Amino acid sequence: MKILAIETSCDETSASVIENGKKVLSNIISSQIPIHAKYNGVVPELASRAHIQNVNIVIESALKQANIDFDNFANNIDYICCTYGPGLAGSLLVGIMAAKTLSYIYNKPLIPINHIEGHMFSSAIENQTLKPPFLSVVISGGHTELIIVKDYGKYVFLGGTRDDACGEAFDKVAKILGLSYPGGPIIDKLAELGDPKAINFTRPLLKGSWDFSFSGIKTAVLNYSKKVDITDQKVINNICAGFRQAVAETLVYKSFEAVKKYSLESIALGGGVSCNSLIRKMFKDYSKKNNIKIFMPSPVFCTDNATMIAMVAYYKIINKSYNKINNQINPKPSLGLENW
Ligand code: KG4
Ligand code: ZN
């Protein structure tokens, strides 16, 4: 069984073909980072325009890499799926229209997929031993969420960010320090050169709640940076190290409190921030210490990609949880997590 997936929720145009929920035949990602970098963030109108320019090329490349073209499409692709939310309305619309068109032309079922569910199951792409129940930790540019995955399509939302998403905080701190966009990778790199103990930034743990608040750490960086010389590279490196340490400790503390409280045995990370080297190391170390299984995607599957969307479609297909041809699919920019 082959699934074609299309993902255009934010600033990556991506298409993928997977076989039997196991084999990734292609995973094409066209990133728009150079377009948005000069604005220090994603500009929605520019994102949709770039998706319009890229979407056909990306789909054709994904098919080609899977040895499929439009002449043999009907015999090779069994299902089409696309992200329908949450995300930017104009961006989502481009992927949805492409998916709808192919679904009509080739008379294939079209399965709408929630972007967050994609991140939640992204570790399963490379490690099929990931099975519910587990704690999902989604940390990206738009989300910071702790979710108990009781089963496929059965979720308990524990908490999310009250202000900035985790990746957003990295991006805003980078802007404060005059670093490039996106901030996560560069802060991660410079933090390696700094002393994480030099500056003790706040760790907002919000005890008694599973929510996060990263804007406090960001404001602490802003206030600190006004008092020091941020043209001094050593100062920048120490700020990056202190900030990264505070974020990583907050995430690890909350996640391991949750697995303990709900007697879970596995944690799966997902989202762009799970590329962070300290976050990966700390989750690995704490898992070992606490006898918890930890699942982390390779960097290419941490950031937005269509393969994670295809994985969720596969679970929906084998659990018979989709409509045959769903021509009612429209963008749902604020889509929440729904059980199925
Ligand atoms: O999942 P993603 O590609 O897009 C969203 O769905 O938001 O995540 C992008 C976010 C950006 O905020 C970026 O700064 C962050 O992931 N990021 C990182 C790292 N690599 C990417 N944050 C911290 N450390 C990294 N190494
Ligand atoms: Zn994402």
Are residue 152 and residue 81 in the same domain, yes or no? no
Whichever domain contains 38, its CATH number is 3.30.420.40
CA of 45 to the centre of ligand 1 (A): 20
Are residue 214 and residue 195 in the same domain, yes or no? yes
User: Is 310 within a domain?
Assistant: yes
Q: Which domain holds residue 113?
A: 2-120+302-318
Cα(307)–Cα(291) distance, rounded to whole angstroms?
29
Q: Whose alpha carbon is nearest atom 16 of ligand 1?
A: 272
Are residue 259 and residue 311 in the same domain, yes or no? no
Cα(99)–Cα(106) distance, rounded to whole angstroms?
11
Are residue 93 and residue 144 in the same domain, yes or no? no
Q: What pairing do the DSSP bridges indicate for beta strands 23-31 and 266-270?
A: unpaired
Are residue 135 and residue 92 in the same domain, yes or no? no
Residue 139 Cβ contacting ligand 1 at under 6 Å: no
Split into its structural domains, the chain has a count of: 2
Are residue 86 and residue 199 in the same domain, yes or no? no
Residue 142 Cβ contacting ligand 1 at under 6 Å: yes
Q: How confident is the model at residue 71 (pLDDT cuts 50, 70, 90)?
A: very high
Are residue 34 and residue 155 in the same domain, yes or no? no
- pLDDT, one tens digit per residue, over 100-118 is 999 999 999 999 999 999 9
Are residue 154 and residue 216 in the same domain, yes or no? yes
Q: Mapping DSSP to helix (H, G, I), strand (E, B) and coil, where does residue 240 land? A: helix
Cα(148)–Cα(257) distance, rounded to whole angstroms?
13
Ligand with an atom nearest the CA of residue 248: 1
DSSP string, 94-146: HHHHHHHHHHHHHT--EEEEEHHHHHHTGGGGT-TT--SSEEEEEESSS-EEE
Quick check: 79 and 4 in contact, CB under 8 A? yes
Q: How confident is the model at residue 72 (pLDDT cuts 50, 70, 90)?
A: very high
Tell me the pTM: 0.96
User: Is 336 within a domain?
Assistant: no
User: Is 333 within a domain?
Assistant: no
How long a stretch of residues is the chain? 340
Quick check: 55 and 6 in contact, CB under 8 A? yes
The residues whose Cβ lies within 5 A of ligand 2, an ion, are 140, 304
Are residue 35 and residue 82 in the same domain, yes or no? yes
* pLDDT greater than 90 at residue 267: yes
Tokens 């670093």 correspond to: 179
